[in-house]
Structure 1
Amino acid sequence: MIIFASEKALSFIQINNISESSLNRNTMILRLILKNFLSFDDEAQFDMFPNMKRTQLAGHVYTDLCEVPLLKQAAIYGSNGAGKSNVVKAMEFLRAFALDKDFAKNLELGKFFYLLKKDAGKEPISLAVEFEIQQHFFFYEVELTETFVAKEGLYESFPKEGKLDLIYERKQEEVEFAQAADEAIAEATRKMLEKNPLASLMALNREFPIIADARCALAAQWFNGQLEIIGVHTFLPTLIDLLRDNQPMMEFVRQLVSSLEVGVNDMTLQETDFDSWAKQHIAIAQNLPGDLDKVKSLSLNANTTPVLSINVENGVRKVYQLIFDNIGKGGFVGTLDTSMQSDGTLRALTLLPALYYACKQGKTVVVDEINCCLSPTMVKGIVEYFAKTADTNGQLIFTTHDNQLLDERDMLRSDEIWFVDKREGASVLYSHNDFKEHHTISPFRGYNEGRYGAIRFVNLLKDYAN
């Protein structure tokens, strides 16, 4: 239940039970394929496969966590409007389609096709992703028209052999299963797809379990819990509860936020008796839901800032707030809450829990515009931490304009650097590894000189004068 108190710019989010879900370690993304999606016309592939001939930063290649070597991180560069955010949107689209049966039905799908050509919309959107979870590899693909799912397939993949084993393959309402279904199940599936022509079978199976093959449910787990995507406008309304329920994460975030040079010396979670808090904050307390006695957990946010959390523990209602020790004049340290922190600090508070998941819980974390609201030194600090931490077990993928990272020889391998460029009005995606350069040549200099494309040199004075 979401309740908005618009006159005070407050929102209240009720949660029955917030706890860290059981996480499957070492879950990786192998590759993403997209075609006829947003700014991408021709087929493009982004992947996390390393060039094993490159010995630079060998610690950035996972060789013992899964069956095939995979990179731990990737940075995607490109000028404004090139389409790098659309790579992230493709992942978001696939995840939402796989989990929510009503997702595509509620979209204006026509806006997701590549539209800058005469025959736009005639071919379906085509998206696919290959990933690993619990030592099983899966390949999931979908082709969508504006009115129906032309194709949806889930396969167990064997990347070493280059082989795919069918789990199910659907063409409109007709489905072929690896494990033969009896006629009653097949007919029920057909009718369900006829009624839901834009729904994914994976999402429908989550709501109405009809596929006996346990691999389907396992693949859905990756979308549901192992792929974290952070957009430019993402914030965590339940951040306080997340940190309160996960002490290792709280300690991780506390240590890193005090090292980001944002004027924060420390961060703590303050616990207050509800009645005492209400007496001191009468205006806010009066705007709380009237049925508060029935609510186990409530998060209060001002715009996109997590302000406090109200929880009932052992029959006692408590208020939790994040309190920061901010450094002032002459070394004075004062306490401020989240509403008084900078946009950069709040952005960091959104990124750091995800970084924890990538470092400690084996998740794949994708961040669009990692430099949003963050200084270059903060971005460097976050990326450097992940790049140089030896015992990470997840992946960090991010888009960025921060080309200073390319000047750090111990930060990114050549095969971890990707570019998105616009050519004849359509996005193309390629790796720095495609350029045959000596490892001593600076990618920073090459990128800024335009050697790799994916950069625009703007001269407004010259253009205006002409």
Structure 2
Amino acid sequence: MVAANIVAKEKELDDNNVFALDDDLKLLNRAVIYGANASGKSNLPKALSFMKWFMINSSKETQSTEKIGVEPFELSTETEAKPSFFEIVFLLDGTKYRYGFEANQKRVISEWLFYVPKTNQTRLFERVSDGNLRKIKYLSNIFKGKGIYPKTRKNALFLSVAAQFNVEIAERILDWLTKQVNIVSGLDDQDHLSYTLNSLVENNDNKSEIIQLIKKLDLGIEQIRIKGASIKTGHKKFNKQGNYVSRKFFDLDSQESEGTKKIISIAGLLIDTLKYGKVLIFDEFDARLHPLISKAIVELFNSKNTNSNNAQLIFMTDDTNLLSNKLFRRDQIWFTEKNKYGATDLYSLVEYKIPNDASFESDYIKGRYGAIPFIGDLSQILGEPDA
């Protein structure tokens, strides 16, 4: 998330949301994506999730006859037969890399890896296809992957195979991707709960921060207990006179609200991301969360006190309460909108010439930035009553 050359209304936003890697490159620690239902905003985390999985697993968890899990854009005769394109630019141990590939459901069409050791971009490898002929067009001695490409199936990535054969650069990239980048959905709490549970059971370095986060979000929880593979939440119990008499423990799964379950499920993930400067991509972020709790979580990434290692949060939401110039710079706000051909456009608020004190939420609801549903006349959908 590259920062634009702008100044926010609130100076603290510039101080807390922008961090410099060098004299030329400044990055953002948060970005939010808005859009109407069916506008395509969930396609970004879906595409990144597939890309991550394919990079890590295509060499070991697929067979030669399996189809690659890409989905072409089928609303256009121009694109329905074309391969899907994926590319990411990332920093690893202070070095910038650019990696990508093109694939259809049958095979990888092309694949490439570049890096910038000093000032100029250098190619580490480039894989190309010419009909049925597949070859490595260029393979740098730095990558040290000679002899491995013939072992790469047409439906697997060379980077994934190289990591299996202990090529150091490939191993480090996939290790970074596995440990530092998390892509989650707010609708799948159970997937995250196991991480929080393990953190509390193992008494690891994150345990105290996880418990403090849960306590401070006004859930009425005073204590956490682990019993077997389940979490018990402790609440104060009072007598008729209003005096505290004991503590009552509830089963998280069967006795707590859906919102409480979600907060506890993601607490471990949030603390781990903030503490170790990781990247968290969060679809359906606001599902089952009160707007003030959503805001409190977002603000954790907006403070040098709680985000000293420049963790990055990218989230998709419909909660317009967060759409504020006190929370975000214009280059941190993105929108998705489908054009008349059914394709999704992704664009930033920084593209609009608006004053820094503009009411982002009000203007968005009014349709000034697009990316909202245009609802037809619903008054006649049930028809006229019978005479």
Query: What one-letter code is carried by the residue in structure 2 that aligns with 1:150?
Result: I
Q: Which of 386, 390, 406 is 2:323 aligned to?
A: 406
Q: Tell me what 2:249 maps to.
A: 335
Cα pair 2:103 2:110 within 8 Å, conserved: yes
Q: Tell me which of 286, 310, 315 is aligned to 1:371.
A: 286
CA distance in 2, matches of 1:230, 1:430: 22
Shift of 1:126: 0.3
Given that residues 66 and 135 in structure 1 are in contact (C-alpha distance below 8 angstroms), is that contact kept between their aligned partners in structure 2?
Answer: no
Structure 1 residue aligned with 2:296 = 381
* Contact kept in structure 1, 2:108 and 2:154, CA below 8 Å: yes
Alignment counterpart, residue 50 of structure 2, candidates 87, 90, 93: 93
Instruction: Judge which range, 256-265 or 375-384, deviates more.
Output: 256-265
Is residue 322 of structure 1 aligned with residue 225 of structure 2?
A: no
Within 2, Cα distance between the matches of 1:355 and 1:451?
33
Deviations 1:26-76 (A, max 9, x none): xxxxxxxxxxxxxxxxxxxxxx11123324411210126997211011111
Unpaired runs of at least 5, structure 2: none
* Match of residue 358 from structure 2: 441
Residue 388 of structure 1 aligns to a residue whose secondary structure is coil
How is 1:20-169 mapped onto 2 (pairs within 5 angstroms)?
48-55=1-8, 56=10, 57-58=13-14, 59-63=16-20, 68-101=25-58, 102=61, 109=68, 112-157=71-116, 163-169=120-126
Q: Which residue of structure 1 aligns with residue 135 of structure 2? A: 174
TM-fit CA distance, 1:372: 1.5
> How far apart are the structure 2 equivalents of 1:249 and 1:415?
32
Indicate if the aligned counterparts of 2:195 and 2:269 stay in contact, CA closer than 8 A. Answer: no
What SS does structure 1 have at the residue aligned with 2:323? helix
AA paired with 1:95?
Answer: K
Cα deviation for residue 80 of structure 1 reads 0.9
Range 170-179 or range 241-250, more displaced? 241-250
* Count of matched residue positions in the alignment of Structure 1 and Structure 2: 360
| Residues 180/108 of structure 1: CA separation in 2 closer, same or farther (3 Å cut) | closer
Q: Please, what TM-score do these two structures have when normalized by structure 2?
A: 0.84
1:312 maps to none
Q: Which segment is superposed worse, 251-260 or 122-131?
A: 251-260
Write the deviation string for residues 135-154 of structure 1: whole angstroms up to 9, x where unpaired: 11111111002211111111
Deviation at 1:181, TM superposition (A): 8.8
Q: Is the 8 A contact 1:258 1:267 kept in 2?
A: no
Per the alignment, residue 165 of structure 2 pairs with: 208
State, as a whole percentage, how many aligned pairs show the same letter: 25
- Residue 343 (structure 2) aligns with: 426
Task: Give the distance between the partners of 1:328 and 1:106, measured in 2 at CA.
Answer: 61
* Structure 1 residue ranges without an equivalent (≥5): 1-47, 271-307, 310-320
Q: Distance in 1 between matches of 2:196 and 2:338?
A: 37
1:246 & 1:70 partners in 2: Cα distance? 34
Task: Call closer, same or farther: CA 1:131–1:103 in 2, change over 3 Å.
Answer: farther
Structure 1 residues 354 and 52, CA gap change in structure 2 (3 angstroms):
farther
Change (3 A) 1:181 1:437: closer
Instruction: Decide whether the 8 Å contact of 2:87 with 2:100 is kept in 1.
Output: yes
Taking structure 1 as reference, are residues 463 and 434 closer, same or farther at Cα in structure 2, changes over 3 Å only?
farther
Residues 356 and 65 of structure 1, relative CA distance in 2, 3 Å threshold: farther
* Cα drift, residue 108 of structure 1: 5.3
2:234 maps to amino acid: D
CA–CA separation in structure 1 for the residues paired with 2:28 and 2:48: 18
Task: Check conservation: 1:167, 1:216, Cα contact below 8 A.
Answer: no
Task: Tell me how far apart the structure 2 counterparts of residues 354 and 150 of structure 1 sit (CA, whole Å).
Answer: 35
Are residue 230 (structure 1) and residue 184 (structure 2) matched?
yes
> Following the alignment from structure 1 to structure 2, what is the Cα–Cα distance between the partners of residues 354 and 443?
29
Which residues of 2 match residues 279-318 of structure 1 at below 5 A?
308-309=228-229
Deviation at 1:459, TM superposition (A): 5.2
Structure 1 partner of 2:273: 358
1:309-361 deviation digits (Å, cap 9, x = unpaired): 4xxxxxxxxxxx53311356656741123223222222212322222122110
Deviation at 1:217, TM superposition (A): 2.4
The question of whether the paired residues in 2 share the 8 Å contact of 1:403 and 1:444 is answered with yes
Q: Could you give the per-residue CA deviations for residues 354-402 of structure 1, whole angstroms, max 9, x where no partner exists?
A: 2212211010011111112212222112112222353512111110010
The one-letter code sitting in structure 1 at the alignment partner of 2:91 is E
Equivalent position SS for 1:168: strand
Relative to 1, partners in 2 of residues 1:256 and 1:217: Cα closer, same or farther, differing over 3 Å?
same
Secondary structure at the counterpart of residue 148 of structure 2: helix
Closer/same/farther in 2, CA of residues 103 and 259 from structure 1, 3 Å limit: farther
Please give the root-mean-square deviation of Cα atoms over the aligned residues, in Å.
Answer: 2.7
